[in-house]
């Protein structure tokens, strides 16, 4: 088994309406820092993204931010992460996030988070990689995303086996526990992404 050393976290650039989201993000960052798992994320210092990054750093952890140049102002790039990579496009950002990570975690977020979650799940469906994907449920946050997938299965647009492409885990403590036993998956060729 190859332990998870580096985790990409997809999450919101806003805080959302429920304080439970930021609480979960703080607990996640603290846990990653304590476990010595590097946080790889979108590089912002706002919203849930900023909370996870700050908490990881505060716990002594390592953080890699990957942000496209055009978003450095708009998304307010973090200034104290361990390492920041500035890419020329959204696509090169996503590829870099993918390449730098052993596994993926989806936390509460908006359209960008949904996009990143669906993309990494569909890349796995296409067998472009075999890295674990975890959806962390916080106050029902994953419900609509999983419902969309279930609907596609029910309507005959997706194979029921696609439910095995990701795991839904309730809350951050259980996610941190799961990260201890998850094995880093095979990395496919980045050329086909």
**Binding residues vs ligand AMP (CB under 6 A):** 12-14, 42, 44, 71, 75, 90, 109-113, 115-116
CB closer to ligand AMP, 65 vs 182: 65
Query: Around 25, how many Cα atoms within 13 Å sit in the side-chain half-sphere?
Result: 30
- Least CB distance from residue 49 to ligand AMP, whole Å? 6
The C-alpha atoms of residue 42 and residue 119 are separated, in whole angstroms, by: 15
**Torsion angle, alpha carbons of 143, 148, 154, 158, to 10:** -120
Task: Count Cα atoms within 13 angstroms, Cβ side, for 100.
Answer: 23
- Residue 12 Cβ, how far from ligand AMP at the closest point, in Å? 4
Measured from the CB atom, the residue of 35 and 46 that comes closer to ligand AMP is 46
* Residue 131 Cβ vs ligand AMP, minimum distance, rounded to whole Å: 18
Give min distance, CB of 100 to ligand AMP, in A. Answer: 15
Q: 33 or 108: whose CB is closer to ligand AMP?
A: 108
Which residue, judged by CB position, is nearest to ligand AMP in the bound state? 112
Distance of alpha carbon 153 from alpha carbon 138, whole angstroms: 24
Distance CA 66, CA 183 (A): 24
Nearest CB to ligand AMP, comparing residues 33 and 68: 68
């Amino acid at each position: 088994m190859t332990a998870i050393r580096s985790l990409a976290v997809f999450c919101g650039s806003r805080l959302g309406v429920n304080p439970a989201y930021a609480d979960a993000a703080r607990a996640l960052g603290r846990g990653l820092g304590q476990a010595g798992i590097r946080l790889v994320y979108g590089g912002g210092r706002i919203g849930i993204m900023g909370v996870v990054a700050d908490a990881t750093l505060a716990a002594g952890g390592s953080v890699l931010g990957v942000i496209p140049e055009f978003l450095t102002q708009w998304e307010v790039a973090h200034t104290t992460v361990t390492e920041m990579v500035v890419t020329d496009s959204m696509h090169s950002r996503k590829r870099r996030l993918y390449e730098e990570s052993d596994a993926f975690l989806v936390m509460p977020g908006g359209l960008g988070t949904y996009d990143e979650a669906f993309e990494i799940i569909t890349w796995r469906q296409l067998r472009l990689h075999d890295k674990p994907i975890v959806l962390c449920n916080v106050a029902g946050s994953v419900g609509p995303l999983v419902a969309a997938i279930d609907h596609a299965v029910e309507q005959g647009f997706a194979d029921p086996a696609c439910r095995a492409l990701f795991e839904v885990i309730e809350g951050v403590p259980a996610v941190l526990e799961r990260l201890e036993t998850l094995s880093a998956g095979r990395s496919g060729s980045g050329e086909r992404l």
